[in-house]
């Protein structure tokens, strides 16, 4: 598969603050990537460098095998930044036509309307009179107007209501299905889990985990099998002898068996005849994985 993004040993220092610290990763065509992390993790700085708006203090960045600031690269990129600023004096439709004309292979107005949900009223309104939500729709349409191969967003859903948010992610999934490469930053674990195929988890300027949402969960969130039984004491005794059981405890009426292999524990429940009822498999939550990863990392430093 074609490599679209390659970042090698990139560091960005502001005064003596290392906002991004020796980060390397590459992204292939068609991947949907979430850059996830708490405040100050280095997400915006990374996206800004990918967009060619900031230059790395050291290390190298290539997009489509070229420098991010080259015209050939810029024509293939669409973006919507946190601060939405649009040109005053023009109606949305005029602005869209203007920007579309910059690109060799733009999307039609009809396609842009279909993708972003821009309304007739939006299109007729002058840029300075647009509401926050209308501005967002316009800037999303502007981002897509050049029919970009690579789309990058910095916290795209901040300030969107739930309907706009759902619509936005539906469109992103549609674009991903067409083979577009998509990178977005977010604080929201749920968003990363729902939309991204791969998460780069940033903390203090470094990548502390890189994998699918499922891999990140499996790596550290504990999975468990839980059940009820008439004889908890006997269940404890029997299950505790097996090395596949990492921890066992009782919570409310349920016995919780933590493990790296829920299938093996399930088999044990029947082999050991512990009288298990109402059996459930509990998968680790991404929220917990996120907290544990960032906490562990802090402790290690």
Ligand X SMILES: Nc1ncnc2c1ncn2[C@@H]1O[C@H](COP(=O)(O)OP(=O)(O)OP(=O)(O)O)[C@@H](O)[C@H]1O
Which chain residues interact with ligand X by CB under 6 A? 14, 17, 19, 37, 39-45, 187
Give the DSSP H/E element, type plus range, for residue 79. Answer: strand 77-80
According to DSSP, residue 273 is labeled: T
Least distance in angstroms from the C-beta of 183 to ligand X: 13
Q: Tell me whether residue 23 or residue 274 sits nearer to ligand X (CB atom).
A: 23
Q: Tell me whether residue 41 or residue 183 sits nearer to ligand X (CB atom).
A: 41
CA distance 37 to 11: 17
The angle at the Cα of 173, spanning 215 to 214, to the nearest 5 degrees, equals: 10
CB 194 within 8 A of CB 169: yes
Least distance in angstroms from the C-beta of 192 to ligand X: 13
Residues in CB range of 294: below 8 A, 6 or more apart: 37, 38, 201, 203, 208
Q: Tell me whether residue 6 or residue 18 sits nearer to ligand X (CB atom).
A: 18
Is 12 strand, coil or helix? strand
Least distance in angstroms from the C-beta of 44 to ligand X: 3
Q: How far apart are the first and last CA of the chain?
A: 37
- According to DSSP, the residues that pair with 20 across neighbouring strands are 12
Least distance in angstroms from the C-beta of 32 to ligand X: 19
Q: Tell me whether residue 35 or residue 143 sits nearer to ligand X (CB atom).
A: 35
Least distance in angstroms from the C-beta of 238 to ligand X: 48
CB 1 within 8 A of CB 197: no
């Amino acid at each position: 598969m074609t490599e679209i993004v390659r970042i090698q040993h990139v560091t960005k220092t502001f005064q003596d603050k290392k906002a991004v610290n020796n980060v390397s990763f590459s992204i292939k065509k068609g991947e949907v990537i979430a850059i996830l992390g708490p405040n100050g993790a280095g997400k915006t700085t990374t996206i800004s460098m990918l967009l060619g708006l900031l230059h790395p203090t050291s290390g190298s960045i290539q997009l489509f095998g070229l420098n991010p600031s080259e015209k050939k690269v810029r024509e293939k990129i669409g973006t919507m930044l946190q601060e939405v600023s649009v040109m005053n004096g023009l109606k949305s439709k005029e602005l869209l036509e203007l920007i579309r004309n910059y690109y060799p292979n733009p999307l039609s107005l009809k396609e842009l309307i279909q993708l972003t949900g821009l309304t007739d009223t939006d299109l007729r309104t002058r840029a300075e009179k647009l509401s926050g939500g209308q501005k967002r729709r316009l800037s999303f349409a502007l981002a897509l107007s050049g029919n970009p191969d690579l789309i990058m967003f910095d916290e795209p859903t901040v300030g969107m209501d739930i309907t706009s948010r759902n619509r936005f992610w539906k469109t992103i999934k549609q674009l991903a299905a067409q083979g577009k490469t998509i990178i977005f930053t977010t604080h929201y674990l749920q968003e990363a889990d729902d939309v991204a195929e791969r998460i780069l988890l940033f903390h203090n300027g470094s990548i502390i985990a890189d994998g699918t949402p499922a891999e990140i969960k499996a790596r550290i969130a504990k999975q468990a099998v839980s059940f009820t039984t008439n004889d908890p004491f006997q269940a404890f005794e029997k299950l505790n002898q097996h090395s596949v059981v990492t921890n066992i405890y009782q919570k409310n009426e349920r016995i919780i068996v933590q493990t790296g292999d829920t299938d093996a524990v399930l088999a044990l429940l029947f082999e050991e005849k512990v009288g298990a009822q109402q059996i459930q498999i509990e998968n680790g939550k991404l929220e917990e994985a996120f907290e544990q990863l960032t906490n562990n990392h802090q402790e290690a430093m």
